[in-house]
Structure 1
Amino acid sequence: MTTVTGTGAALRFQLRRDRLRLPLWVAGVPMFALYFSVAITVVTDHGTELGSFAPILGNPVTMLVGGPGYGYDHITVPRMIAGVYLLYLMLAAAVLGMTTVIRHTRVDERTGRASLLPDRPGSAVAPGWVRTVPALVWRLQRTGVMGWAVSLAIGGLVFGLFADTIGGGADDLPSTLTDLLGGRDGLVDGYLGFMGLFSGLAVTAYALLEVQDLAGHEKQGFTATVLATGVGRMRWYLSWAGVRAVTVVLLLGLASLGEGVGAALVTGRGGEVVSCLAGHVLLTPAV
């Protein structure tokens, strides 16, 4: 027997297990690339106006988000996709890999190793506020939510502080493109909206990871302990989904608050706080 014995059977089992998940992801990412190429071609009149985007693509803030980029001296549609949108295609692939690895390793390992961990008895009595199923769900999730909340709020603030720099880039654009983008204010609004989408992707990653965590609780036997108290399975799942929905709104709200405050500080427009909040909350159904 060698160390690779059974590898083929294990591989076939994994492919069988992900027979729907993998094809959907593998087909979906190239479709996004196709969409980007078609959209850029239409917006730039078959690529003839791509050169007008050079000042924006070379902006320090753009490079902060998407990397330095190359080929902006002679922009083509493939170069623009590779320099601007490739990052988001890579993020999609990263989310696929991350959730798949967690599904097949972290959850399974925690299930198999639970009996090997030493006993760590805690208090036999739950805190007074943990009297309902949603409260218990929140107790299980609160540490992770707090970490995400701080990170998204700080990230939103940093993004917002660059709003004025983005607005200044309007001075270097052709007048026709500036008019199309709505002038300096339109460029700032577009940037803040784009950063809102970026925050929405981060919150989506959080939601996906928490769904995996629910599956982990199921496999470890934690869910069975709750169900043994008379709580129905549907009630447990709905409570988990309800708390998840509330935390998604909370995280989007904190990200928007940070972004709006940062933008208001550098632009002097206090209304950015409300605009950013509205824009982020509208992302909730998509998340």
Structure 2
Amino acid sequence: MTTRTADHPAHPAAPGTLFTGTGSLLRFMLRRDRIRFPGWVLGLTLMMVYYSAALNSVSQSPEDLEGLTAFSDSPVGALFGGPGFGYDELTVERFLAGQYGLYMLLGAGLMGLLTVVRHTRAEERTGRAELVRANVVGRHAQLTAALLLTALMGVLVALLVGAVMAGNGYDAGGSLLFGLSIGAVALAFAGIATVTAQVSEYPRASAGLAGAVLGAAFLLRGLGDMAAVQGSGPAWLSWLSPLGWSQQTAPYVHDRWWPLVISLAFTAVTAAVGYTLSTRRDFGAGLLPPRPGSPRAAGWLAGPLALAFRLQRASLIGWSAALLVSGLAYGSFTQPMLDGFANAPEDLVAVMGGSADLLAGFLGLMGLTMAFTVTIFAVLAVHALRAEETDGRAEPVLATAVGRRAWIGSHLAVTAAGVPWLLFVAGAGMGVGAAVSTGDAGLVGDLVVGHLAHTPAVWLVLAAAAGLYAAVPRALPAIWAVPGYAMLVGFFAPILDIPAGAVRLSPFEHIGEYPLDGVSVAAVLVLTVFAAAVTQAAVAAFRRRDLSSTA
């Protein structure tokens, strides 16, 4: 006797069953994120409170606002802020939205993509999603709940930021539009993360792909805005960036609401693609299957240092490529930037280092910018180290002859070695771009030296991150305050009149911005020794605490 299956395909699930349990999962996610949720929302809101208070304290007269215009209505100001709508009649609220708004947009983008990856791909990787799906839960419930959670965070950020701006006496409609433009970026990158979460089976790779899109969005927006300010070049590039869409709303100037429709449509399309792709892969797998490894491990893999390098190899390759391309792109704007600064005002000269040598000032500022970017790599590497522990992969390694000192030390050593390499790649790329733009081949060497000089400062931030991870792992996200503060001081200290003592708190303010300033050998040595001491303390702290199996 034989049997045969039915000729007709199985009936698809009813649409309602695909989302069964979404509400329960959303409540569960809110419970899990009881610290992260207010941390993101209040953190972004308080950032806007600080920006507003600081700017109001230094802008007491029309002359003060004219000084701000000098920096913002320039190619460098466009790169670090945006297109600068309404700067011909600048007001405090226009400067806040046009210059500082970009950093709010970047924070919202990170919030959106990290939240979605955390509650989708990371849940599958740890096995918790499989236990959840064993209950009465629809296939799309988890992804839908993650998107709803991100949307709730974005809406709260939008309302709170709008309330902060309106509370300062600024136009209520413009304030609401400004807040909603920030929330729209969170939604746009949540949509991007729904797609990248289907591509790879590893949460780190999924977040990395979404983060690469965020970096590309910043690059496209920067190039487009610089071209728009100069009056020539591909200004249309800004319209290829979700960051650019929000900036084009131009709150307090044009008050355009329609660019938000682009962001919402983009979110809907990317989310729909994510839903579709999730039905075309096996649970726990990615659309791109991992490459099968060799049946025999290579001899060089015998040791914790080699394992740490193998785990970080893909990240190093990706960051190297991104920094090289970014350096070439920004370096190619060197000569147009100089042509646009023929009669630079004193306030802009102060931002560029306080020297009439605008070329050296620009190159020094770009070296500092790339140092901040590499700092993000270093901090993310420590977060990845924590993920190795919480995901249960560190414990099997430590169960062998590998000690705790060797395990954490190997990972930190690979990251520390990657810092000067990435700075070298960024400096070489920018040097080549600047040399082609200006015809001065000597800029290649200057930029490589200027970038590498920031290595000890990045090492110190890496050591501080390692210290938090080793001693108080749950407090590790607090390390982002260090590069955030350093960026604020490095870019805006001259125009915000930040006290010298507060400026010196940043580790990046001691070495010098070569070629504008000479490299302080003493500062290099002190920061290196300090970083080494903090790293040793971190290793010692890690040896004394218990391993953790939960994030």
Instruction: Give the TM interval when normalised to the shorter protein.
Output: 0.7 to 0.9
- Most deviating of 240-249 and 131-140: 240-249
- Does the CA contact (< 8 Å) of 1:253 and 1:280 recur in 2? no
Aligned-partner Cα distance in 2 for 1:102–1:211: 18
Summarize the Cα distance change of 1:245–1:274 in structure 2 as closer, same or farther, 3 Å threshold: closer
Is residue 12 from structure 1 mapped to residue 24 from structure 2 by the alignment? no
Match of 2:374 among 203, 223, 239: 203
CA contact under 8 A between 1:260 and 1:277: conserved in structure 2? no
CA offset digits 1:19-68 (Å, max 9, x no partner): 22332332222333233334444555545332344454333454355432
Aligned to 1:67: 82
After superposition, the CA RMSD in angstroms is: 3.7
> Partner amino acid for 2:460?
P
226, 244, 248: which one aligns with 2:419: 248
Report the CA distance between 1:149 and its aligned residue.
0.6
Of 110, 113, 129, the match for 1:95: 110
Note the C-alpha offset of 1:9. 3.9
Residue 275 (structure 1) aligns with: 450
Match of 2:314 among 123, 137, 143: 143
TM-superposed CA distance for 1:14, in Å, is 2.0
Partner of 1:155: 326
Looking at structure 2, the residues matched to 44 and 193 of structure 1 have their Cα atoms a distance apart, in angstroms, of 27
Which residue of structure 2 lines up, in the alignment, with residue 110 of structure 1? 125
Give the aligned residue type for 2:88: D
Distance in 1 (CA, whole Å) between partners of 2:106 and 2:292 is 40
Say which SS state the counterpart of residue 231 (structure 1) adopts. Answer: coil
C-alpha contact (below 8 Å) 1:107/1:215 kept by paired residues: no
Of all paired residues, the percent bearing the same amino acid is 42
Distance 1:103 1:244, change over 3 A: farther
Matched, 1:25 2:200: no
In the other structure, the counterpart of 1:177 is 347
Instruction: Give the equivalent residue in structure 2 for 1:258.
Output: 429
Distance in 2, matches of 1:18 and 1:108, equals 13
The whole-number CA distance in structure 2 between the counterparts of 1:72 and 1:36 is 18
Summarize the Cα distance change of 1:53–1:245 in structure 2 as closer, same or farther, 3 Å threshold: same
State the alpha-carbon separation in 1 of the partners of residues 433 and 36 from structure 2. Answer: 39
Which range moved further: 117-126 or 165-174? Answer: 117-126
In the TM superposition, residue 87 of structure 1 has moved relative to its aligned partner by 1.0
Q: 1:89 to 1:272 in 2, by over 3 A?
A: same
Equivalent position of 1:286 in the other structure: 461
Q: Deviations over 1:203-249 (max 9, x none)?
A: 34444554554455556654454345333456433422332233234
Alpha-carbon distance between aligned partners in 2 of 1:38 and 1:192, rounded to the nearest angstrom: 30
Give the letter aligned to residue 243 of structure 1.
V
CA distance 1:272–1:222, change in 2 (3 Å):
closer
Shift in alpha-carbon separation, 1:177–1:213, aligned structure 2, 3 A:
closer
**TM-score, scaled relative to structure 1:** 0.77
SS in 2 for 1:285: helix
Q: How big is the shift at 1:259?
A: 3.0
CA 1:286/1:225 → structure 2, altered by over 3 Å: closer, same or farther?
A: closer
Aligned residues: 285
Residue 130 of structure 1 and its aligned partner are, at CA, apart by 1.4
Shift of 1:128: 1.9
1:260–1:275 CA contact under 8 A, matched in 2? no
- Which residue identity lines up with residue 59 of structure 1 in the other structure? S
**Counterpart contact for 2:419–2:455, Cα < 8 Å:** no
Give me the whole-angstrom Cα distance separating, in 2, the residues matched to 1:120 and 1:221. Answer: 22
Shift of 1:146: 0.8
Contact 1:61 1:165 in 2 (8 A): no
In 1, Cα distance between the equivalents of 2:335 and 2:51?
27
